[in-house]
Amino acid sequence: MKITIIGTGYVGLVTGACLAEIGNDVFCLDVDPRKIGILNNGGVPIHEPGLQEIIARNRAAGRITFSTDIEASVAHGDVQFIAVGTPADEDGSADLQYVLEAARNIGRYMNGFKVIVDKSTVPVGTAQRVSDVVRAELAQRGLADNAQHRFSVVSNPEFLKEGAAVDDFMRPDRILIGSDEDEDGLVAREKMKRLYAPFNRNHERTLYMDVRSAEFTKYAANAMLATRISFMNELANLADRVGADIEAVRRGIGSDPRIGYHFLYAGCGYGGSCFPKDVQALIRTAAEIGEHLRILEAVEDVNHAQKEVLVRKITKTLGEDLRGRTFAVWGLAFKPNTDDMREAPSRRVIADLLARGAHVRAYDPVATEEARRVFAMDLENAPEHLSRLHFTGTQDETLAGADALVIVTEWKEFKAPDFAHLKAVLKTPRIFDGRNLYEPDAMSELGIDYYSIGRPHVAIQNGSGVAV
């Protein structure tokens, strides 16, 4: 099939590359010539494991094209995927300007029947707005009632985890298709069924529903996952106070099959491009019709507060004034296997340390360049703070003479470091672990003062560990 992908961010690139991989003829459009230049020169503007190899293979086979030519992109695809960004607006609602501009361009240039697919995460009712915009453009062209210029808008939300997006697309646990029940909607459904047929060979993964339910399902899924994270973080903070071990609690409740283990890990808060903005957007959608989603409002509040927990542990131990102190920070991206810094907890942790006068040496396996850009913006009004932030090329370079190691992102390479070397090069053998990577008793035996989230602090006294 001939497919057009509008937008070459995470969702657009992964969707386009994976659809090309199964034999479709894919045209990827972006209005940013820098991105298209990178792609046409063999690069990829984002870090996503496996993506560059798939793109290179399909470019060589002539199955994927990258361009800024809007008219050519509309002419190419019978199915037009809108996969542009929907950032949070100032009031927390999803900003649909890029979605509606994509719809406007489709209406401006389309000739013949088109299936228009909302792949971006969009609020309930967006498909109707897209349809209205396309119809208005056709009316401008005098083609509103032309039988050759029919279209149908489908909701096909993505369920891709950054860092595992290629595998999620190629081996989906579900495929949602929301379409209308009129004649054009049924035609669109059949085209989508044909497109996704290769992913349903072992068993049927596709769920068909109405458009609004499909739009709502995406937000509901992310809101549930964010709720589990904030729920465990709030319990972890209580566990700190009462002397319980949140890891033991997690194993205890996760063993219940009605609950399960997924997204029950305590830490220093969630970030990224999805959970924060999707929770905000759902809260805003409810507010627009006079409803309050009290649980999600609490989820958001807990997550904001959780990003301060790690620094509170540091200041409780070392004092509020951190001038003259140096901290090694491992992990900058909001999660492993990505360079995404959007809403990353590291931004709050590092900014708070710098504001208290500390020096920070930070390392991340892939997100360093993106972090440089982000912190330059975050701290543009505080150049004296920025001057005390240094990025290193290896995790070991962060350690020498540091007063403590602070772990913010749970990269695999951080899970089994050389603790003897770490203890020798740190000024004080002290770790503040925002992702609970290590066992407190093991750290005590090694003579490392270890602070984690929701687990007893085991202090080091004369070489023996004492829980406090």
| pTM as predicted | 0.90
Cα separation, 323 vs 319, in Å, equals: 10
User: How far is residue 258 from each of residues 247, 255, 295, 367, measured CA to CA in Å?
Assistant: 18, 9, 20, 36
Q: Average pLDDT for residues 275-303, to the nearest whole number?
A: 94
Residue 268 among the catalytic residues: no
Average pLDDT on 441-451 reads 95
* First-to-final CA distance of the chain: 63
Gyration radius of the chain's alpha carbons: 25
Quick one: 393 exposed, middle or buried, by C-beta within 10 A (0-12, 13-18, 19+)? exposed
462, pLDDT greater than 80: no
Q: Does pLDDT of 418 surpass 70? A: yes
Amino acid 465: pLDDT: 45
Looking up tokens 């209005």 gives 31
Marked catalytic residue, from 18, 28, 268, 274: 274
Q: What is the DSSP code (8-state) at residue 94?
A: B
Domains of the chain: 2-209 (3.40.50.720), 219-304 (1.10.1040.10), 307-467 (3.40.50.720)
Alpha helical stretches, state H, 150-274: 165-170, 183-195, 211-242, 246-254
Which pLDDT band, with edges at 50, 70 and 90, does 89 fall under?
A: confident
Q: How far is CA 341 from CA 84, 160, 274, 363, in A?
A: 18, 17, 12, 13
The pLDDT, as a whole number, for residue 410 is 97
The pLDDT of 47-56, averaged and rounded, is 96
How confident is the model at residue 202, as a pLDDT? Answer: 80
* In the chain, % of residues over pLDDT 90: 93
What are the backbone dihedrals phi and psi of residue 343, each rounded to the nearest 5 degrees, phi first?
55, 25
Contact between 83 and 15 under an 8 Å Cβ cutoff? The reply is: yes
Q: What is the pLDDT of residues 251-260, one digit of tens each?
A: 999 999 999 9
- 201 pLDDT above the threshold of 70: yes
Q: For residue 460, what pLDDT is reported?
A: 67
pLDDT at 147: 80
